[in-house]
Chains A and B, each alone.
Chain A
Amino acid sequence: MMCSGMVSPDLILRALSKGADGVLVIGCHLGECHYLEGNYNAAKRVAVLKKLLAFAGVDPARLRVEWLSSAEAPTFVRVTSEFSEQIKALGPSPLKEVA
């Protein structure tokens, strides 16, 4: 997506129910948004969704937000492998369509 501010929480929920065991939202560093405040919105929304997931009984660690620029390949690799290890440890998402 063009901007982390465009990642709607609907889409995150959708991903979790359609098979993703975790969702990592990566946006530009705070203060460096091309659209001014897209990443601040993303941060707030992820925070709201994490708390809702916790209330519903889903480990909020399945959702994470990180700020990275395109010039930070090594950090990208570290963040994504770290996250994927963490999700593996948590096991499959209990949100996967139960119906």
Chain B
Amino acid sequence: MVEKVKARVQELLASGKVKGFIGLRELHGHIGPYLFTDGGDLDGFVIGDRKAAGDTRYPLNTQLIMISRQYPEETLGVLVRGCDERGLKTLFNTNQLKPEKVVSVGIACPQELADVCECMKPFPEEFVAGEASEARPFGSVERIESIEIGERLKVWLGEFAKCIKCYGCRNICPMCYCPECTLEAKDFQAVGSIASENPIFHLTRALHMAGRCIDCGLCSEACPADIPLRTLYKKIADIVDLEFQYRPGYQDSKGKMSPNVLGEAAKH
């Protein structure tokens, strides 16, 4: 699978279609994001499967935003799974990236990953490797909804109580790009103090993911306390779909703008 991806990247770099390619590289036993600039030197190029498929994913779109802000004239390539592509579309819609300056190289996720992710679309529109797996429903959301409403808060508070307020969930999130974060606004949250103001810390973040979260699951993976954050954000995506008929990343990039769910007042 990785050979097909490498061949494509090689071609993009050699032809000059892209100036650089943001992918993953294994170095000294670690897998991390890397900017490949020479098609002839793709040493260590990996797609992030170590023990299991997709177990070392990174928010490469975040790197893409950072690099393209520094080199606005250059066209860059980026490795995308289904969720990353949803992210790209949403970032185009919200003017964080220019579609004409980005070339994505897609890979489809295997069924085992789609199952774990409860993924609605485990493949990008075009992919050079892998096969389209089946979508899976949000079983984790249904499980919470099967709990009587009075009991749900206890379940969530039990989860949130484990939070060490490391901000890892926010830091890893490819869709968290606000210059000023409400979770660090002094009049809103006691920054750094533990425990976090539960459940407001988590509900505020959930609210801010409305119309933005593309359900990549990196937040849940990053959370050292194993809080099922993704379930909360899956629900907010369902709610936004119901209220606004919009699900981030599922409309084409020239389609609907993301709804103004939070409004101007939410910008601090």
A: which residues have CB within 8 A of B? 5-11, 13-14, 16-17, 41, 44-45, 47-49, 51-59, 94-95, 97-99
Main secondary structure of the interface of B (DSSP, over half): helix
Tell whether, in the assembled complex, residue A17 and residue B197 are in contact, meaning their CB atoms are under 8 Å apart: yes
Give the distance to chain B from A23, nearest Cβ to Cβ, in Å. Answer: 13
Tell whether, in the assembled complex, residue B266 and residue A59 are in contact, meaning their CB atoms are under 8 Å apart: no
B: which residues have CB within 8 A of A? 141, 144-145, 147, 149-157, 161, 182, 188, 195-200, 203-204, 206-207, 210, 232, 235-236, 239-240, 242-244, 259-266
The listed residue (B155, B198, B200) touching A57 by CB distance below 8 A is: B155
Main secondary structure of the interface of A (DSSP, over half): helix
Compute how far the CA of A87 lies from the CA of B197 in the bound complex, rounded to whole angstroms.
Answer: 23
Tell whether, in the assembled complex, residue B203 and residue A52 are in contact, meaning their CB atoms are under 8 Å apart: yes
Compute how far the CA of A13 lies from the CA of B203 in the bound complex, rounded to whole angstroms.
Answer: 8
The listed residue (A14, A55, A58) touching B188 by CB distance below 8 A is: A14
The listed residue (B154, B204, B232, B263) touching A41 by CB distance below 8 A is: B263
Give the distance to chain B from A69, nearest Cβ to Cβ, in Å. Answer: 22
Give the distance to chain A from B256, nearest Cβ to Cβ, in Å. Answer: 15
A-B contact count (CB 8 A): 98
**Known interface pairs A10-B188, A47-B243; A54-B149 also in contact (CB < 8 Å):** yes
Tell whether, in the assembled complex, residue A57 and residue B152 are in contact, meaning their CB atoms are under 8 Å apart: yes
Tell whether, in the assembled complex, residue A58 and residue B182 are in contact, meaning their CB atoms are under 8 Å apart: no
Compute how far the CA of A98 lies from the CA of B198 in the bound complex, rounded to whole angstroms.
Answer: 6
A residues less than 8 Å from B149 (CB atoms) = 54, 57, 59
Tell whether, in the assembled complex, residue B210 and residue A10 are in contact, meaning their CB atoms are under 8 Å apart: no
A residues less than 8 Å from B199 (CB atoms) = 56, 95, 98
Interchain Cβ contacts under 8 Å between A and B, 30 examples: A6-B263, A6-B264, A8-B266, A9-B266, A10-B207, A41-B260, A44-B259, A45-B263, A51-B242, A51-B243, A52-B203, A52-B206, A52-B207, A55-B145, A56-B153, A56-B203, A56-B232, A57-B147, A57-B152, A57-B154, A57-B155, A57-B156, A58-B153, A97-B197, A97-B198, A97-B200, A99-B195, A99-B196, A99-B197, A99-B198
